[in-house]
């Protein structure tokens, strides 16, 4: 019998267009690749996590105020071990003489010399990126050769470049692992280059289009490629397997068209759970969540685009080679695991329920931290190793900066003196308390006569200087009444004198009685005061520094921050800030409480919503969510059991990703189980479902786990490393649970799944079905079965079918015992 031309659906027409125009798509991707390579340099990478804090937080406002009003100069903490004090003193003096170094703090106290180790606090004249500062740091490193030295500084360190280098290495190793996994799970060796080209194009598209966000975090920039590979490779594998199935009876072109038409809805649905988890990140109060959400969601979309528009053409192009390199199945069946699930269906679920409760309790007690300064990683940079060596000998240094409105030195002095008297404070520094000379402080106000005698300047010149200062401050009354009793803070007058000398309005030549050495000392002092002004005083704010005897994160620390605010509040009503790692940790802790609950609820809600429409059963989503949520709780019980703090951001991000991505493993098994139940008893169906789903779960799970573990072990950046470790560990736990616990739960809860099924009523849109061979037909049929038929049928048809089937009906191919397609 001659086969009538088939009726094409919309997805088939789209698929045909993509396959037939594949050369045009190849050319478009070539142009896009060139553009993306260029555009990758347009994206700014933000390295400061606190910049993503909500704008209303004190830390964010204080950091903005400091950046707008003060210059940041390069600093370094250098420890030299196994050295005598005299030798350490000589080395300190040598460092102080290096051009570009303005001050070296070193003395014979335990804060700088302890257990034959010397600690130098080095301050530079420029910022950490200035050429002079970089050259000074290189000179110091050269001086330290031959000594047992540890250097803790950001000067000369490009953390973003280091991260990118790490991720490049991680990606290479990940690709090698993925090649091994794909070799085990592929049906032909030539499928592997198709998959790699498709992923490479998707990754390049994502990186090259990040410029549309103008700025992304270093976290998103560094892990997006690896996570994209782990999250999205499933889509390419699904299409690849569909193509192999279709190509058994069809040409390469027709197989690609039909495979793509069938894969588009399947892959799109699969991506929704992952996207749902990532969408939940975007609702975080902490802006880093939205940053990662949009970058990774875009990565998923770019992966879908590459799979749908590039990969079909590649499959046709590589088809001859795919046919030649077919190989036998390398991955074994896991029938024993399925049989074990059936036998233990009444034991495993109750045991899992107990584990679930214990994991919830342990994960609720997870020790979180909000600063990654003291977190050790499997791999550490030279700077991190130096930091921990210095900390082990001299302890931590917890500094807080106080910004107050400029102009009231008395209030500043009172604040610093009150803080200095507290046991929680190690020391303070501010213009109001710095001693200048002969018992005078920089904030002390002097008359012209007192200043003349103090620094040895001609009295008439000092009077002129005071008059000029009063005129600049618009205090003309002081000039009219005489400046003899006019008092000006010593610091302000010195800075004014420096400005007038630089403008050549005043010259001190001869004013010091020909004392050349005195002139040099005066010029040097004025230069140091100008540097101090850039760090301690601006047009709007004065900055004071408080060194605390408290850890960066503790209830006691957070409580003392409130006391500091109370002390400052005695003198200033508002417009003052307390900024430091401790205040940042406090603000992050406050936002974490809200974000944690929000992400947990939203990620579960989005996933449940997708599962409801996927399975059309209320019971199925609940069973799947319980398993994956259990994996999440077990994952975050580990920090509680080991006592190792978990960086809060790692928890939030991994919580969303693990729920959104790992639920796919459970969906794959459940889908196969639902299909197999139509052909065989549910106990046998779960065994066959595990065998059918294992290659997909193994492939996807191994890639995700490998990516996470590699990041955790090979990145020195604490946030990235912790996030990777949690993803890797969580994925392994999820795989174990979906292969051991979920099958038993599905068999035991089968009646719940069936009883809670529902149908979504909608307009009936039947389409023409064409099948040949033996098939089971259920539903209202109108068409030809070796003759015209218009009837409700429930039975076996042998022959050729060309008919419309009601939307609640189904046709299942009997040959081989595998349904070809099901319509509900």
Length reported for the chain: 824
Percent of the chain clearing pLDDT 70 (strictly above): 88
512 pLDDT higher than 60:
no
Q: What is the pLDDT of residue 777?
A: 66
Strand 435-437 to strand 440-441: parallel, antiparallel, or no bridges (unpaired)? antiparallel
Query: In the beta sheet, which residues pair with residue 579?
Result: 401
Read off the pLDDT of each residue in 213-231 and give the average, rounded to a whole number: 81
Reduced to 3 states (helix: H, G, I; strand: E, B; else coil), residue 621 is helix
751 pLDDT higher than 60:
yes
Read off the pLDDT of each residue in 600-623 and give the average, rounded to a whole number: 83
Q: What angle do CA 226, 228, 230 make, to 5 degrees?
A: 70
Q: What is the 3-state secondary structure (H, E, C) of 512-523?
A: CCCCHHHHHHHH
CA 599 to chain centre: 15
The whole-angstrom separation of Cα 611 and Cα 203 is 28
Cβ–Cβ under 8 Å, residues 403 and 68: no
DSSP string, 798-813: EEEEEEEE-TT-EEEE
Reduced to 3 states (helix: H, G, I; strand: E, B; else coil), residue 363 is helix
Cβ–Cβ under 8 Å, residues 537 and 434: no
Q: What is the pLDDT of residue 437?
A: 72
> Which token pair is 475?
């205090």
Q: What is the pLDDT of residue 511?
A: 54
DSSP string, 186-249: -SBTTHHHHHHHHHHHHHHHHHHTGGGGSEEEHHHHHHHHHHHHHHHHHHHHHHHHHHHHHHTT
Residue-wise pLDDT tens digits, 670-683 = 888 887 887 888 88
Q: Quickly tell me which residue has 């149908």 as its tokens.
A: 759
Q: Which helix (H) or strand (E) holds 362?
A: helix 348-364
Read off the pLDDT of each residue in 359-382 and give the average, rounded to a whole number: 89
Q: Which helix (H) or strand (E) holds 669?
A: helix 648-677
Confidence category of residue 510, pLDDT binned at 50, 70, 90: low
Residue-wise pLDDT tens digits, 177-208 = 888 888 887 888 898 899 889 988 998 999 99
Cα dihedral 379→383→389→395 (10° resolution): -120
Q: What is the DSSP letter of 506?
A: -
Read off the pLDDT of each residue in 559-584 and give the average, rounded to a whole number: 91
Q: What is the DSSP letter of 158?
A: -
> Which token pair is 742?
């979920």
Q: What angle do CA 517, 520, 525 make, to 5 degrees?
A: 125
More confident residue, 5 or 532: 532
Q: What is the 3-state secondary structure (H, E, C) of 297-346?
A: HHHHHHHHHHHHHCHHHHHHHHHHHHHHCECCCCCCCCHHHHHHHHHCCC
Q: How far apart are the first and last CA of the chain?
A: 29
Confidence category of residue 729, pLDDT binned at 50, 70, 90: very high
Closest CA to 201 of 183, 223, 173, 225: 225
510 contacts: CB under 8 Å, gap ≥ 6: none
DSSP string, 364-389: HT--EES--TT---SS--HHHHHHHH
More confident residue, 492 or 91: 91
The whole-angstrom separation of Cα 93 and Cα 118 is 13
Confidence category of residue 616, pLDDT binned at 50, 70, 90: confident
The HSE-up count of residue 449 (CA atoms within 13 Å, CB side) is 4
- Range 146-161 burial, b when 16+ CB lie within 10 A, else e: ebebbbbbebbeebee
Q: What is the pLDDT of residue 389?
A: 93
Q: What is the pLDDT of residue 780?
A: 62
Please provide residue 178's backbone torsions phi and psi, each rounded to the nearest 5 degrees: -65, -40
Highest mean pLDDT of the ranges 220-224, 278-282, 308-312: 308-312
436 pLDDT higher than 60:
yes
Query: In the beta sheet, which residues pair with residue 78?
Result: 120, 151
Q: What is the tally of helices (H) and strands (E) in the chain?
A: 28, 20
342 pLDDT higher than 90:
no
- Residues 34, 38, 42, 45: is their CA dihedral positive or negative? positive
Confidence category of residue 816, pLDDT binned at 50, 70, 90: very low
Reduced to 3 states (helix: H, G, I; strand: E, B; else coil), residue 270 is helix
780 contacts: CB under 8 Å, gap ≥ 6: 791, 792, 793, 805, 806, 809
More confident residue, 818 or 730: 730
The whole-angstrom separation of Cα 171 and Cα 218 is 16
The HSE-up count of residue 758 (CA atoms within 13 Å, CB side) is 12
Q: What is the pLDDT of residue 820?
A: 42
> Which token pair is 108?
């014979």
Closest CA to 238 of 314, 147, 304: 304
The whole-angstrom separation of Cα 324 and Cα 596 is 52
The whole-angstrom separation of Cα 340 and Cα 742 is 12
* Alpha helix segments (H runs only) across 70-190: 85-96, 131-144, 159-185
CA 660 to chain centre: 16
The whole-angstrom separation of Cα 466 and Cα 487 is 9
Query: In the beta sheet, which residues pair with residue 46?
Result: 217
Read off the pLDDT of each residue in 50-65 and give the average, rounded to a whole number: 85
Q: What is the pLDDT of residue 799?
A: 66
681 contacts: CB under 8 Å, gap ≥ 6: none
Read off the pLDDT of each residue in 236-243 and give the average, rounded to a whole number: 84
Cβ–Cβ under 8 Å, residues 275 and 300: yes
Confidence category of residue 748, pLDDT binned at 50, 70, 90: confident
817 pLDDT higher than 60:
no
Q: Quickly tell me which residue has 């699969």 as its tokens.
A: 270
* Alpha helix segments (H runs only) across 421-554: 448-455, 459-472, 476-481, 490-502, 516-536
678 contacts: CB under 8 Å, gap ≥ 6: 812, 819, 822
50 pLDDT higher than 50:
yes
Mean pLDDT lowest among 25-34, 87-96, 593-602: 593-602
Q: What is the pLDDT of residue 274?
A: 82
444 pLDDT higher than 80:
yes
Q: What angle do CA 558, 564, 567 make, to 5 degrees?
A: 150
Whole-Å CA distances, 368 to 202, 630, 648, 649, 722:
35, 19, 6, 9, 12
Read off the pLDDT of each residue in 368-374 and give the average, rounded to a whole number: 86
460 pLDDT higher than 90:
no
Q: Which helix (H) or strand (E) holds 257?
A: helix 252-281
Q: Which helix (H) or strand (E) holds 567?
A: helix 555-569
Task: Provide the mean pLDDT of the chain.
Answer: 84
Q: What is the pLDDT of residue 819?
A: 40
pTM listed for this prediction: 0.77
514 pLDDT higher than 60:
no
The whole-angstrom separation of Cα 671 and Cα 753 is 13
The whole-angstrom separation of Cα 498 and Cα 649 is 48
CA 798 to chain centre: 57
Read off the pLDDT of each residue in 545-574 and give the average, rounded to a whole number: 91
Reduced to 3 states (helix: H, G, I; strand: E, B; else coil), residue 604 is helix
Highest mean pLDDT of the ranges 132-136, 473-477, 684-688: 132-136
Q: What is the pLDDT of residue 82?
A: 94
Cα dihedral 216→217→222→223 (10° resolution): -90
Reduced to 3 states (helix: H, G, I; strand: E, B; else coil), residue 428 is strand
Highest mean pLDDT of the ranges 223-237, 259-273, 391-405, 444-458: 391-405
481 contacts: CB under 8 Å, gap ≥ 6: none
Q: What is the pLDDT of residue 784?
A: 59
Q: Which helix (H) or strand (E) holds 589?
A: helix 581-615
Q: What is the pLDDT of residue 500?
A: 79
Q: What is the DSSP letter of 4?
A: P
149 pLDDT higher than 90:
yes
Q: What share of the chain is helix, strand, coil (3-state, %, to 5)?
A: 60, 15, 25
Read off the pLDDT of each residue in 617-621 and give the average, rounded to a whole number: 84
The whole-angstrom separation of Cα 581 and Cα 62 is 12
Q: What is the pLDDT of residue 517?
A: 47
Residue-wise pLDDT tens digits, 291-305 = 989 998 999 999 999
């Amino acid at each position: 019998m001659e086969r009538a031309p088939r009726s094409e659906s919309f997805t088939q027409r789209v698929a045909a267009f993509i396959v037939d125009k594949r050369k045009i798509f190849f050319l478009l991707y070539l142009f896009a690749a060139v553009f993306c390579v260029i555009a990758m340099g347009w994206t700014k990478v933000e390295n400061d996590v606190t910049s993503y804090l909500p704008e209303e937080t004190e830390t964010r406002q204080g950091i903005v105020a400091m950046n707008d009003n003060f210059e940041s100069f390069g600093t370094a903490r250098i420890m030299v071990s196994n050295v005598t004090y005299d030798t350490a003193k000589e080395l300190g003096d040598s460092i102080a003489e290096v051009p570009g170094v303005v001050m070296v703090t070193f003395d014979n106290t335990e804060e700088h010399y302890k257990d034959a180790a010397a600690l130098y606090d080095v301050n530079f004249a420029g910022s950490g990126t200035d050429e002079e500062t970089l050259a000074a740091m290189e000179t110091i490193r050269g001086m330290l050769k031959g000594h047992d030295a540890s250097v803790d500084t950001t000067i000369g360190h490009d953390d973003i470049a280091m991260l990118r280098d790490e991720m490049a290495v991680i990606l290479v190793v990940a690709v090698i692992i993925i090649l091994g996994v794909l070799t085990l799970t592929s049906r032909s060796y030539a499928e592997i280059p198709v998959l790699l080209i498709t992923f490479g194009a998707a990754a390049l598209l994502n990186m090259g289009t990040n410029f549309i966000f103008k700025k992304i975090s270093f976290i998103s920039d560094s892990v997006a490629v690896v996570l994209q590979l782990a999250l999205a490779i499933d889509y390419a594998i699904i299409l690849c397997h569909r193509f192999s199935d279709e190509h058994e009876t069809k040409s390469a072109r027709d197989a690609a068209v039909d495979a793509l038409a069938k894969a588009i809805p399947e892959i799109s649905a699969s991506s929704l759970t992952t996207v749902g988890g990532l969408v939940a990140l975007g609702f975080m109060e902490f802006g880093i969540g939205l940053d990662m959400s949009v970058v990774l969601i875009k990565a998923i979309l770019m992966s879908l685009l590459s799979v749908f528009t590039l990969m079909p053409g590649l499959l046709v192009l590589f088809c001859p080679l795919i046919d030649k390199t077919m190989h036998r199945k390398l991955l074994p069946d896991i029938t024993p695991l399925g049989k074990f699930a059936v036998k233990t269906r009444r034991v495993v679920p109750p045991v899992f329920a107990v584990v679930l409760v214990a994991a919830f309790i342990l994960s609720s007690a997870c020790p979180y931290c909000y600063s990654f300064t003291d977190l050790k990683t499997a791999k550490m940079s030279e700077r991190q190793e130096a930091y921990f060596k210095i900390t082990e000998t001299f302890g931590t240094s917890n500094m807080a900066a106080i910004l107050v409105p400029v102009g009231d030195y008395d209030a500043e002095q009172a604040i610093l003196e009150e803080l200095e008297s507290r046991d929680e404070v190690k020391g303070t520094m501010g213009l109001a308390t710095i001693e200048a000379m002969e018992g005078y402080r920089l904030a002390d106000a002097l008359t012209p006569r007192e200043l003349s005698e103090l620094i040895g300047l001609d009295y008439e010149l000092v009077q002129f200087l005071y008059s000029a200062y009063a005129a600049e401050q618009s205090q003309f009354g002081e000039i009219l009444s005489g400046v003899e009793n006019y008092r000006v803070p010593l610091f302000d007058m010195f800075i004014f004198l420096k400005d007038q000398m630089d403008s050549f309005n005043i010259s001190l030549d001869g004013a010091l009685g020909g004392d050349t050495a005195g002139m040099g000392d005066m010029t040097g002092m004025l230069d140091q005061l100008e540097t101090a002004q850039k760090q301690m005083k601006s047009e709007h704010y004065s900055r004071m520094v408080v060194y605390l005897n408290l850890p960066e994160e503790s209830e006691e620390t957070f409580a003392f921050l409130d006391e500091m605010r109370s002390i400052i509040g005695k003198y200033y009503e508002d417009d003052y800030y307390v900024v430091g790692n401790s205040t940042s940790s406090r603000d992050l802790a406050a936002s974490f409480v809200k974000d944690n609950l929000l992400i947990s609820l939203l990620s579960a809600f989005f996933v449940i919503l997708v599962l409801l429409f996927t399975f059309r059963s209320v019971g199925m989503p609940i069973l799947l969510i319980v398993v994956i949520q259990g994996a999440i709780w077990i994952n975050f019980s580990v920090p509680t059991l080991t006592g190792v703090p978990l960086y809060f951001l790692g928890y939030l991000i991994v919580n969303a990703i693990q729920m959104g991505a790992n639920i796919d493993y459970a969906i794959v098994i459940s889908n196969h189980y639902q299909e197999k139940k139509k052909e065989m008893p549910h106990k046998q169906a779960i065994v066959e479902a595990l065998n059918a789903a294992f290659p997909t779960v193994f492939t996807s799970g191994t890639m995700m786990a490998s990516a996470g573990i590699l990041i955790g072990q090979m990145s020195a950046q604490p946030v990235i490393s912790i996030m990777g470790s949690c993803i890797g560990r969580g994925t392994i736990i999820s795989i174990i649970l979906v292969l051991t616990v979920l099958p038993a739960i599905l068999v035991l809860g089968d009646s719940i799944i069936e009883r809670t099924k529902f149908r979504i009523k909608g307009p009936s849109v039947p389409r023409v079905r064409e099948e040949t061979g033996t098939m089971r037909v259920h539903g209202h049929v109108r068409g030809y079965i070796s003759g015209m038929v218009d009837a409700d049928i429930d039975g076996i048809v042998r022959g050729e079918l060309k008919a419309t089937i009601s939307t609640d009906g189904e046709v299942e191919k009997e040959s081989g015992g595998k349904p070809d397609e099901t319509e509900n």
